[in-house]
Homo-oligomer: A and B are copies of this chain.
Amino acid sequence: MISVILLGAGNVASHLYKVFHNSDTITVTQWYNRHIDKISTFKNEVEITDDLSALKRADIYIIAVSDDAIATVSEALPFQDRFVVHTSGTASLYDIDAKHRRGVFYPLQTFTKGAEVDFSNIPLCIEGLKKSDFKLLKRLAEGIGSKDYKVSTEQRKRLHIAAVFANNFTNQMYRIAHEITEANQIEFEILKPLILETAKKIQTMSPYMAQTGPAVRGDKKTAKQHLNLIENPQHKAIYKLLTESINDTHGRKKL
């Protein structure tokens, strides 16, 4: 049994609490939050507290708070030489106070409040300075059915940038498609199956192999027709730049 104390009550903390609570190999010893009312609905299931000095002993202390607060909270913990991890995609492992054994337990996924989360489908990026601590995080990931990946702080920073492309920028592509359909009285619904299929395709095929469309074919005629039809100057600039990017990736001559 791995004993865990959770600190924080945001999206990540709440989802982790639920999945730990349901695990056979993990027990949540305590749940701490600065404002106890945020977690008081769970008081019959788990010991809750808003007092750092009341924290018990546990195998792992998981700080799931905003990036800016990680240093402060870890410093305020009234003990040392225990295993303390954060759950951030961007904060350094070294943001955790040096008096602790330090680690990172970062689930890479967009958490939506209220929505159910299937952890068996969430990659866990783990980092630990000591071999035994690292192994403990591996077991913690296993305990919630997640696949774990060893990712260093430097790698995690790059992974976060990659996630901005794969998630935020992709979503902006959907948004622009939405703007184009709305402006032309076309139902955005029509594009939804295509969007899903595009994401499904790269689950088993590289994005390089999956590419289709005028840019990868080097079809300059269609690209020029499109550019003539696009009125929004920003959309036009994005169309040009991304067509160039696809041309470059696939060794096509530029537009």
Contacts and interface: CB of A to CB of B under 8 A. Distances in A.
Interface in A192-214: 192-203, 206-208, 210-214
Interface of A: 90, 108-110, 112, 121-123, 125, 149, 151, 154-155, 157-178, 180-181, 183-187, 189-203, 206-208, 210-216, 222, 225-226, 229-230, 234, 237-239, 241-242, 244-246, 248-249
Given A162-B186, A172-B246, A245-B234, A109 B194 contact: yes
Contact of A229 (B157, B189, B237): B157
A207 B172 contact: yes
* Of A121, A206, A241, most B-chain CB atoms within 10 Å: A241
Contacts of A112: 201
A108 B186 contact: no
* 8 interchain residue pairs of minimum CB distance: A199-B199, A168-B213, A174-B207, A175-B207, A166-B177, A162-B177, A162-B180, A158-B184
